[in-house]
Amino acid sequence: MNLQMAELSKDEKMTLIQYAIKKYENEEVLIEKLKRVFSEKDVQRGIDTLIGTQKVRRIGPEVLENNESHTELPELPENLKPLLAQL
C-alpha cells in the first residue's frame, strides 16, 4: 500500500509521524522510513510542526521523542495502522 500524502488529512499525517517517532527515535532513520509515504520536505515540515506545538521534542542531536508529559499521543486511526506497520 503506497498512500499518497494527499489522501491523508493533516491530523492523520501528524499522528502517523508521531507514531513513527515512537517506533524510530533516530531522526535520520525516521526520515528514511517516512520518505516511503511522504516527501522529505513534508516529513521535515511535519516534524518541525510537532516540535513547534510541543508535541515532540529533541532529546539529542538526532533523537526525537513524543512529549507525552505535555500532551497525550492521539489514538491511532484504523486506516493508519497498516501504513505504520509498513514503516
Mean pLDDT by 10 residues, the chain (87 residues): 64 96 95 93 95 94 92 92 91
Instruction: Note whether residue 62 is domain-resident.
Output: yes
What is the pLDDT, as a whole number, of residue 1?
41
Domain range holding 79?
Answer: 9-86
What is the pLDDT, as a whole number, of residue 73?
92
For the chain, the domain total comes to 1
What's the pTM value of the predicted model, to 2 decimals? 0.88
Instruction: Note whether residue 49 is domain-resident.
Output: yes
Instruction: Note whether residue 77 is domain-resident.
Output: yes
Three-state DSSP class for residue 66:
strand
Question: How many angstroms separate the Cα of 7 from the Cα of each of 21, 42, 56, 68, 81?
Answer: 21, 14, 24, 27, 15
Residues in CB range of 87: below 8 A, 6 or more apart: 20, 23, 24, 33, 34, 36, 37
What is the pLDDT, as a whole number, of residue 69?
87
What is the pLDDT, as a whole number, of residue 10?
92
Instruction: Note whether residue 81 is domain-resident.
Output: yes
Instruction: Note whether residue 75 is domain-resident.
Output: yes
Instruction: Note whether residue 3 is domain-resident.
Output: no
Residue listed under C-alpha cell 524510530 = 24
Cβ pair 67, 59 in contact under 8 A:
no
